[in-house]
């Protein structure tokens, strides 16, 4: 196996350097072969190689064992298809995709990838590798090593997920929502795209929580999260800010007709009776809507606008939705000035 690997690693480049090596005072290749053989026999190293088309041509025995029964089926596969990137996973490091780096013939340094095959759990590898060129500069493929970091990565991903997910409902929490909103608005400003933000506050939730108990209140919040998520689907991201407050981020949406229909469906769905702890519970919700860039261009402005719209909706006894208007901001400013005068 070690000799096969050495041939795979050195390939045509070794043959091209044969004449030069013959004149060298000392040839270290036998010693290097022995070292590689020892490493493989001890099960220490995980090595891989590709051809000029970025197809896997070699995986060391330790690598095959780590990947499980599907490992051998990877030989001949494009490496970017055999392993997937992790850019969408919680806590994932910021890195160029594997496909991009391979096409650019860049060095792979601490590249994190995932493999999902014969095992019931995902394996995460940290790859290091470099392109191999012959003396004329012709690209021959990649040669590299791998380290299984599954235990460490899984733990770090869990910690990252817990910091971004509401433990009760499984929705995005306030931190993740703010990060996502900030990133979305920054990207959309450059392309002049719109984005809507809905703020939800449950009506009469405190009454249910006080009379039926906190466990019943928690169960009710879970059911509300399920209903709202079922309506929004893949049009946006639903999150829980805390307590009985929810937020919905809706990229590329500024049509008031569509937003009105969506908000009305949410109000109607949340208002339907619930079965909680064997008892019937009825609540409602109020919805405030703000649209970027018209109502705000950054996170604070848009959130403030949606909050003012929510406050206006609750002011009509709840169970409805309201869009932000400049009049709401003017009224809020007048109220703030009046409050300052009264305090003086």
Q: Among candidates 188, 195, 218, which has minimal Cα distance to 205? A: 218
Q: Do 210 and 337 have their domain in common?
A: yes
Where does a domain end: 106, 128, 157? 157
Checking if the pLDDT of 341 tops 70, the result is no
Q: Do 187 and 276 have their domain in common?
A: yes
Looking up residue 115, the CATH number of its domain turns out to be 3.30.450.20
Where does a domain end: 114, 136, 157? 157
Place of tokens 């702890």: 277
Q: Do 194 and 112 have their domain in common?
A: no
Question: How far does Cα 90 stand from its chain's mean position?
Answer: 5
Query: pLDDT tens, 45-91?
Result: 799 999 999 999 999 888 988 888 666 788 999 999 999 988 655 55
Residue 128: predicted pLDDT: 96
Q: Do 115 and 247 have their domain in common?
A: no
Range of the domain at 287: 165-343
Q: Do 152 and 275 have their domain in common?
A: no
Where does a domain end: 107, 123, 157? 157
Q: Do 107 and 186 have their domain in common?
A: no
pTM of structure: 0.61
Give the list of residues 6+ apart from residue 113 with CB closer than 8 angstroms, or none: 83, 84, 85, 86, 98, 124, 125, 127
* 284-292 vs 321-323, strand pairing mode: parallel
Query: pLDDT tens, 20-40?
Result: 443 344 455 677 667 766 776
Total domains in the fold of the chain: 2
Q: Do 268 and 177 have their domain in common?
A: yes
Contact (Cβ atoms closer than 8 angstroms) between residue 167 and residue 239: no
Q: Do 141 and 191 have their domain in common?
A: no
Q: Do 143 and 227 have their domain in common?
A: no
Query: pLDDT tens, 165-222?
Result: 999 999 999 999 999 999 999 999 889 899 999 999 999 999 999 999 999 999 999 9
């Amino acid at each position: 196996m070690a000799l096969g690997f050495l041939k795979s690693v050195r390939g045509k480049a070794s043959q091209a350097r044969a004449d030069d090596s013959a004149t060298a005072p000392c040839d270290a290749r036998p010693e290097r072969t022995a070292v590689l053989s020892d490493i493989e026999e001890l099960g220490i190293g995980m090595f891989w190689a590709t051809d000029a088309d970025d197809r896997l041509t070699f995986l060391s025995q330790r690598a095959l064992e780590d990947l499980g029964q599907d490992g051998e089926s990877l030989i001949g596969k494009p490496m970017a298809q055999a392993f997937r990137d992790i850019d969408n996973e919680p806590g994932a490091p910021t890195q160029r995709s594997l496909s991009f780096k391979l096409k650019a013939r860049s060095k792979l340094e601490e590249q994190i990838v995932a493999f999902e095959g014969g095992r019931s759990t995902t394996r995460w590898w940290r790859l290091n590798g470099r392109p191999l060129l012959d003396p004329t500069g012709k690209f021959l493929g990649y040669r590299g090593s791998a380290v299984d970091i599954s235990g460490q990565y899984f733990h770090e991903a869990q910690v990252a997920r817990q910091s971004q997910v509401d433990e009760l409902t499984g929705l995005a929490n306030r931190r993740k929502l703010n990060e996502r909103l900030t990133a979305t608005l920054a990207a959309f400003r450059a392309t002049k795209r719109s984005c809507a933000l809905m703020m939800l506050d449950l009506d009469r939730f405190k009454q249910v929580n006080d009379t039926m108990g906190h466990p019943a209140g928690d169960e009710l919040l879970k059911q509300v999260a399920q209903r709202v998520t079922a309506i929004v689907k893949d049009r946006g991201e639903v999150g829980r800010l805390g307590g009985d407050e929810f937020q919905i981020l809706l990229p590329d949406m500024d049509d008031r007709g569509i937003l009105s229909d969506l908000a009305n469906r949410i109000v109607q769905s949340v208002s339907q009776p619930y079965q909680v702890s064997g008892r019937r519970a009825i609540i409602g919700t109020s919805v405030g809507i703000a649209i970027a860039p018209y109502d705000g261009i950054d996170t604070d402005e848009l959130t403030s606008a949606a909050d003012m719209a929510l406050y206006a909706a609750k002011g009509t006894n709840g169970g409805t939705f309201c869009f932000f208007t400049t009049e709401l901001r003017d009224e809020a400013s007048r109220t703030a000035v009046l409050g300052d005068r009264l305090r003086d």
